[in-house]
Amino acid sequence: MLETRYRAARALPLATLPRPAASGASVSVRPAGAESRFSLRARLGGGAPTLAGLPLDAPINTVGTDGEVWIARLGPDEWLVGGPEADADLLQGRIHEALAGLPHALVDVSHRNVGIDVSGRQAAAVFNAGCPLDLSETAFPPGSATRTLLGKAEIVLIRAAAAPLYRVECWRSFSTYVHGFLNEAVFGAEGAVAP
Amino acid sequence: MLLIACPHCGKRPETEFRCGGQAHIARPADPMTVDDGAWSEHLFVRANPKGVHAERWCHVHGCGRWFNALRDTISDRFIETYPMGAKPTQFPQSETRA
């Protein structure tokens, strides 16, 4: 049998935009590069498997990261796992290893998802232009991650670290909308006029 | 903004949810033994109360899980939300199990 390992070269949808990054004094929006991501569905039962030293049975709507790999628990039986693009096969193997013996579904969604990083003091205000979630320190502390809505598009909002740095994961076909929405919101938050 | 308390995620904005109609409607165990009248009743006839109503809701843009809610149709206030398979602690008469 002929086995073909084929990884499509990726053309990121936001890479060709005439104005890829909006940055101001207090907030900046920057499309992230290519990464590998997996959608994981499993019923843990009583088990508590760990992946890259991070427990899968962490509370719902939290994210854990070891610096490279991050695991966001979006629901009782759903996780979004991300890591460096080159480690896609490695990460896949580690997930299967961690969940050996447990029925689970693992889907590579690296090309479906597009990441956008929003950082700066006003980042929460920018999201609140289209997302009614409470993003204050008490309601959405570092280590939070959730699926929600931004304007009309579904996003996954991840806040891994204490710094005001948020990662938006949206679907590829929504990415120009989400990116445009965030850019507009930056101009609103900065008090400037869009060019 | 109306906040709905998802049993998994806590209070979240209304736009993340989708309503799935009346809750606690049991499908007849053996549909072949049910006559046409009772079957159409099961499929199509729903309560439309003025007051407390038990409904199914889905946190579709969040954890993606279905749950039940007691909602007052006059004030649009959510009295209680509870997981699938559970019973409400208040208003037991709102349960309309077949």
For chain B, what are the domain ranges?
3-94
The interface predicted TM-score of the complex, written ipTM, equals 0.82
Q: Give yes or no for residue A32 having a pLDDT over 50.
A: yes
CA neighbours closer than 13 Å in the CB half-sphere of residue B49? 18
Per-residue pLDDT, A176: 92
- For chain A, say whether B58 makes contact (Cβ under 8 Å): no
What pLDDT is stored for residue A8 in this prediction? 59
Give yes or no for residue A2 having a pLDDT over 80: no
Q: Is A12 on the interface with B (CB under 8 A)?
A: no
What domains can be seen in chain A, in order of their start residue?
23-190 (3.30.1360.120)
Q: What is the pLDDT of residues B33-68, one digit of tens each?
A: 999 999 999 999 998 999 899 999 999 999 999 999
Burial (CB count <10 Å: 0-12, 13-18, 19+), residue A173 = exposed
Percent pLDDT > 90 in chain B is 70
CATH class of B3-94: alpha beta
Nearest residue, CB atoms, A149 vs list B9, B61, B63 = B61
Cβ A74–B64 below 8 Å, yes or no? yes
Helices (H) and strands (E) in chain B, counts: 1, 6
- Residue A6 pLDDT greater than 70, yes or no: no
Q: Which residue of A has its CA nearest to B61?
A: A148
Count Cβ atoms below 10 Å from residue B15 Cβ, excluding itself.
15
Lowest pLDDT segment from A33-37, A75-79, A185-189, B79-83: A185-189
Which of A132, A146, A147 faces B1 most closely, judged by CB atoms?
A: A132
Q: Which pair of tokens denotes residue B14?
A: 């209304």
Q: What is the pLDDT of residues A89-136, one digit of tens each?
A: 999 999 999 998 889 999 999 999 999 999 988 899 999 999 999 999
In sequence order, what are the beta bridge partners of B73? none
Q: Which amino acid is at B5?
A: A
In this prediction, residue A50 carries a pLDDT of 84
B78 has pLDDT over 70: yes
